[in-house]
Amino acid sequence: MTAISISAGRCLIGPDLVDASLIVTDGVIAGVDATSPRADLDLDASGLTVLPGIVDIHGDAFERQMMPRAGVDFPIDVALIDSDRQAVSNGITTVFHATTWSWEPGLRSAGNARQLLEAIEDLRPRLAADTRFHLRHETYNLDDEDEICQLLAAGRIDLFAFNDHMESTVASLDKPHKRQRMVDRTGLSGEAFDRLVARIASRADAVPASIARLAATARQAGIRMLSHDDASPEMRRAFREEGVTIAEFPVNEETAREAAAGGDAIVFGAPNVVRGGSHTGWTKASDMIAKGLCSVLASDYYYPAPLLAAYRLAADGILPLSRAWGLISAGPAHAAGLLDRGALAAGRRADIVLVDDSMPMRPRIVAVLAAGRLVHLTEADRLGAGTASRAAAAE
């Protein structure tokens, strides 16, 4: 494999941004030094900030590539390849596609989730980012419990989340705009959708036992679990007792505090930070971060958001950049159990981004390495043949 050096950049080493050079070989960071090492290819990082690649444990923006308009489908492989390019160009080198497996037909159906899982497994060698499958299980989807247990036991699911949108679905039936959006997503008629919701909602008594069985299977398989939109400290404690140690988008501060007290990872959406608040009117992520109640920021529905959020936190004085970057790199890597990435250190996976942050609120990705491969470059003049150029200079 080609050895690559990254020279003359301001690198995030531990908690500090320091002038250093990196050498990458065989997909890992081989060394960190203040001088430029010898390599086959040099990346000139002068004037740039060099940071660990972004780890995105919850992103569903790929759904827009699959169905850009209601009822308009595109092939899954085309959607995944396009999503991969978008993720990498925004500095995301590890991406968990958060795939909803619901009782609904259409975009979030069981059939669609199966196809997406198979496509991810087939396409991995062609994708630049380390692409993984985050299954968002709608807890009222009792019909597919056995199949999901089999996938968990086989280790084909990388993260497993418990979602419950039944209450909001029922509440939306009396809101024409929201109801129509759900109906369009399923491809059903309005009357058929209403009948389906009534039938699924009637199974509430069976849901807790199903959650317990699925959680037990995931624990046995060693798969990290998340609970989505925890609404109370009691709900968070109940999920923790099942081994669900990641609280994803807790809806209020008291629930986030319960998660923190229990040592759980706490996920909020990076778009929430970028936009200055939640689009649902729930918890403001920047407030939670300032109070130490967030350990992970996720792209959620917008791939540019993690990069922008880290720099906004620094610009707003909420966190220094080194700590803000930890929310989108080391923090999510730790939560997902990926201890080989999230830091610029010898022996770590060479997921590296070079950022032009001369405009702090509008940082720009210049280059991205994923597992030691140069997968994105916007300024070709920064790339040189290191060995050849040194030999020429010596003559």
Q: Determine the pLDDT at residue 389.
A: 46
- The reply to whether the predicted model has a pTM over 0.85 is yes
C-alpha span between 7 and 361 (Å, rounded) = 25
Provide the residue count of the chain. 395
**3-state SS track over the chain:** CCCEEEEEEEEEECCEEEEEEEEEECCEEEEEECCCCCCCEEEECCCCEEEECEEEEEECCHHHHHCCECCECCCHHHHHHHHHHHHHHCCEEEEEEEEEECCCCHHHCHHHHHHHHHHHHHHHHHCCCEEEEEEEEECCCHHHHHHHHHHHHCCCCCEEEEECCHHHHHHHCCCHHHHHHHHHHHCCCHHHHHHHHHHHHCCHHHHHHHHHHHHHHHHHHCCEEEEECCCCHHHHHHHHHCCCCEEECCCCHHHHHHHHHCCCEEEEEHHHHHHCCCCCCCCCHHHHHHCCCCCEEECECCCCHHHHHHHHHHHCCCCCHHHHHHCCCHHHHHHCCCCCCCCCCCCCECCEEEEECCCCCCCEEEEEEECCEEEEECCHHHEECHHHHHHHHHC
Is there a contact between 96 and 132 (Cβ–Cβ < 8 Å)? yes
Share of the chain above pLDDT 70, in %: 95
CB neighbours of 117 closer than 8 A, spacing ≥ 6?
99, 133, 151, 156, 157
Overall CATH class of domain 54-335: alpha beta
C-alpha span between 280 and 283 (Å, rounded) = 9
Q: Determine the pLDDT at residue 385.
A: 66
Residues of the chain with pLDDT under 70: 1, 34-37, 279-280, 385-395
- CATH 3.20.20.140 domain locations along the chain: 54-335
C-alpha span between 36 and 132 (Å, rounded) = 34
Q: Determine the pLDDT at residue 68.
A: 77
Angle at 314 between CA 308 and CA 320, to 5 degrees: 130
Overall CATH class of domain 4-52+344-394: mainly beta
Other beta carbons within 10 Å of 234 = 11
Which of 89, 76, 88, 73 shows the shortest CA–CA distance to 122?
A: 76
C-alpha span between 226 and 336 (Å, rounded) = 10
Give 355's strand partners.
49, 365
- CATH 2.30.40.10 domain locations along the chain: 4-52+344-394
286-320: per-residue pLDDT in tens?
Answer: 999 999 999 999 999 999 999 999 999 999 999 99
Q: Determine the pLDDT at residue 33.
A: 85
Q: Determine the pLDDT at residue 386.
A: 58
